[in-house]
Amino acid sequence: MIEILISASFWAAVLRIASPLIFATMGELICERAGVLNLGIEGIMVIGAFAGWMAVYLGLPLWGGVAVAFGAGALFGLLHGVLVVPFGLSQHVVGLGVTLLATATAYFAYRLALPQVTSPPKIVPFQVWEVPVLSKIPLLGPALFAQTPLTYAAFACAGLVAFVLYRTPLGLALRAAGENPAALEAQGVSVTGVRIGAVMVGSGLMAVGGSFLTLSAFSSFFFEMVNGRGWICIALVVFGAWRPGKAVLGALLFAGFDALQIRLQQTPMGAVVPYQLFLMLPYVFSILALVVMSRRAQVPAALMVPYTKGER
């Protein structure tokens, strides 16, 4: 156990596993801070994983793939936003519908593009980029500064989200939309516009999180590859009390569990305990995290409350 925890490869894996979660958690956090629960996250991650991969497979550069993933996510975000914001439909139902639609679209399009493949084709994914100097620091260097560019981008993205949320007029408007939309509207800002915009950008980030799986972690697209990560991100937003910094910590903690269980399977313990038990740990951890945080969290007051102009 100790051996695992002091190895650089373990910590490098933690950051790698956390990266897609950080993107998607930031995406969900933006949506929820603006007052919209986005249960489309799981499917949007699937479409992001697929669209980003497909774009690169068809010849776009890797960053082009990331951009395509963002765009695809934003498109499904627009669908979710239009249905739940101006029309005020149930965010639960529409979100699940968006997840089903996005997942099915990705699978359908994959089968359409590659009808006969048995082993999924590969692309050349993002390679590890060692930060000069810093990556030479013993232990810390290989753990933190020998990652793919998309991992650095994930952490930069979290910082940017925190900055925008707490330091800019846009972030203020977004928080107001999630706390008391009437206050925002009374100040002449369109709640509908802010909320739909937030859901689109948030969904774009979720899709980028999905694309991490195909463009950085693996080199192909598989069915079921997102495997509940989206739902875990929803738990992470709660765990992080709707704050970007705490949510990143939650993602790292979760990734730590995940990296640990993979390594524990290879220890003598892994021979005795069935591997499924290890695989369950991250999900169990997520549920426990929700239970522990449930009393303390400060939920955005207008989360899941549709806003209609002129009504109070």
87 lies in the site for another protein, by CB under 8 A: yes
**Distance in Å, CB of 40 to another protein, minimum:** 11
End-to-end CA distance of the chain: 56
Cα–Cα nearest to 215, from 107, 57, 98, 96: 57
Of 12-20, 97-105, 143-151, 255-263: span binding another protein (CB under 8 A): 97-105
Among 4, 8, 75, 96, binds another protein (CB under 8 A): 96
Q: Are 82 and 195 in contact (CB under 8 A)?
A: no
For residue 2, count other CB atoms closer than 10 A to its CB.
6
Q: For the residues of 98-115, what is the DSSP string, one character each? A: HHHHHHHHHHHHHHHHSS
Among 13, 30, 36, 184, binds another protein (CB under 8 A): 184
Among 7, 78, 105, 155, binds another protein (CB under 8 A): 105
**SS3 assignment, position 129:** strand
79 lies in the site for another protein, by CB under 8 A: yes
Among 88, 121, 159, 245, binds another protein (CB under 8 A): 88
Cα–Cα nearest to 308, from 2, 29, 69, 88: 88
What's the one-letter identity of residue 236? L
265 lies in the site for another protein, by CB under 8 A: no
**Distance in Å, CB of 99 to another protein, minimum:** 8
Cα separation of 205 and 60, whole Å?
19
Length of the chain counted residue by residue: 312
* Binding footprint of another protein on the chain (CB under 8 A): 39, 79, 83, 86-90, 92-94, 96-98, 100-101, 103-105, 107-108, 111-112, 115, 167-170, 172-173, 175-176, 179-180, 182-189, 194, 227-228, 231-232, 234-235, 238, 274, 276-277, 279-280, 283-284, 286-287, 290-291, 294-295, 298, 300-301, 308-310, 312
